[in-house]
Amino acid sequence: MRCRPASGGSVGGQAARTTVGIPASKVPSRVHAGISECMQRTLIAVDVDGTLYDGADVAIEAVEALRQAHEHGNLVVIVTGRRWEQLGHVIPTILAFCDRAVCEEGGVLVHLADHSLTLLAEPVEPALVNGLQAAGVPSLDVGHVVIGAPSGHLERVTKVRDDLGSTRVIIANKGSITLAPSGCDKGSGLRAAVTDLGAQDVPIMAIGDAANDLVMFELATIAVGVANADAAVRASGVTLTQASVGRGVAEALRHFLPGLPPA
């Protein structure tokens, strides 16, 4: 059975805004009904940069909470704009108990058991990479499916894309932009992971911090933004934690997942 969101709407709708970390007696009864009674096994979809990873490390509280959640039978799926090849350098402790990783803004699905990759969208076109390089766009991050660039070069990236007749869309994420195939985003990638895991009837808890996480939140039974979330996440009305980055992830997991021991 699929749980209803805390908002009382259908699955995929946005949760009512609450504050994680408040006393249980102050949490609306509908939240208890939607979480405590239903979410016995949950798929946890969590972003990396600004959510798990603070630019230097992952808080030990997040590592322990996710490890315990996985040991309790919950599924853990990383959903990130990063390339798979980078994750071992930024969240190595987390990968040990992840079931899938959705990388490159939904463009690549990784099976953690054997590190095999499945492309979920069209691969990068060499002509587009060459055009961006010729135009002087610096610090290109070329993946299997997407191309990343600094957000300060949006105008130049857009012009190259349009001049080449590319149908790729631009996804903004704080200080970076990504050229992704049309229809490829964190939501489409998470759907692919859910199907691959055979978890279509498992409720989803999504945790993120930025505008590109909103499409992932739309699929979630419970959507949570960490305290350092950007304006787009705050404006969406999702639940917000009191703690930032990894500690906020741990706070959300311990608040919403039944049976997880307190910190």
Asked if the structure places residue 4 within a domain, the reply is no
What predicted TM-score, i.e. pTM, was given to this entire model?
A: 0.86
pLDDT in tens, 170-183: 998 888 999 999 99
Section 213-230 average pLDDT? 97
- Name residue, tokens 């992704």: 180
Q: Which of 180, 206, 226 is the last residue of a domain?
A: 180
- Inform me whether the pLDDT recorded for 140 exceeds 50: yes
At 262 the pLDDT is 77
Asked if the structure places residue 242 within a domain, the reply is yes
Based on the fold, state whether residues 108 and 195 are members of the same structural domain.
Answer: yes
User: Residue 109: in which H helix or E strand, if any?
Assistant: strand 108-111
- Inform me whether the pLDDT recorded for 68 exceeds 80: yes
Distance CA 211, CA 217 (A): 10
Token output for 97: 């108990």
Distance CA 10, CA 221 (A): 8
Based on the fold, state whether residues 140 and 235 are members of the same structural domain.
Answer: no
- Inform me whether the pLDDT recorded for 16 exceeds 90: no
- Inform me whether the pLDDT recorded for 14 exceeds 70: no
Q: How many domains does the chain have?
A: 2
Asked if the structure places residue 12 within a domain, the reply is no
Asked if the structure places residue 205 within a domain, the reply is yes
Identify the CATH number of the domain in which residue 166 sits: 3.90.1070
- Inform me whether the pLDDT recorded for 12 exceeds 60: no
Based on the fold, state whether residues 31 and 52 are members of the same structural domain.
Answer: yes
Identify the CATH number of the domain in which residue 199 sits: 3.40.50.1000
Based on the fold, state whether residues 66 and 170 are members of the same structural domain.
Answer: no
Q: Which of 180, 200, 224 is the last residue of a domain?
A: 180
At 43 the pLDDT is 98
Based on the fold, state whether residues 208 and 246 are members of the same structural domain.
Answer: yes
CB contact at 8 A, 138 and 147 = no
Distance CA 222, CA 203 (A): 8
Section 247-252 average pLDDT? 98
CB contact at 8 A, 225 and 51 = no
CB contact at 8 A, 209 and 175 = no
- Inform me whether the pLDDT recorded for 37 exceeds 50: no
Based on the fold, state whether residues 172 and 224 are members of the same structural domain.
Answer: no
Asked if the structure places residue 2 within a domain, the reply is no
Asked if the structure places residue 29 within a domain, the reply is yes
Based on the fold, state whether residues 167 and 218 are members of the same structural domain.
Answer: no
Section 216-226 average pLDDT? 97
Asked if the structure places residue 3 within a domain, the reply is no
Based on the fold, state whether residues 42 and 172 are members of the same structural domain.
Answer: no
Please give the residue range of the domain that contains residue 250: 24-120+184-256
At 28 the pLDDT is 34
Asked if the structure places residue 262 within a domain, the reply is no
Based on the fold, state whether residues 97 and 152 are members of the same structural domain.
Answer: no
Section 252-262 average pLDDT? 89
Distance CA 263, CA 255 (A): 10
Residue 36's closest CA among 260, 247, 237, 190? Answer: 260
Beta carbons within 8 Å of 150's beta carbon, 6+ residues apart: 137, 138, 139, 175, 176, 177
pLDDT in tens, 86-116: 999 999 999 999 999 999 999 999 999 999 9
11-15, 49-53, 120-124, 259-263, range with the lowest pLDDT:
11-15
Based on the fold, state whether residues 214 and 162 are members of the same structural domain.
Answer: no
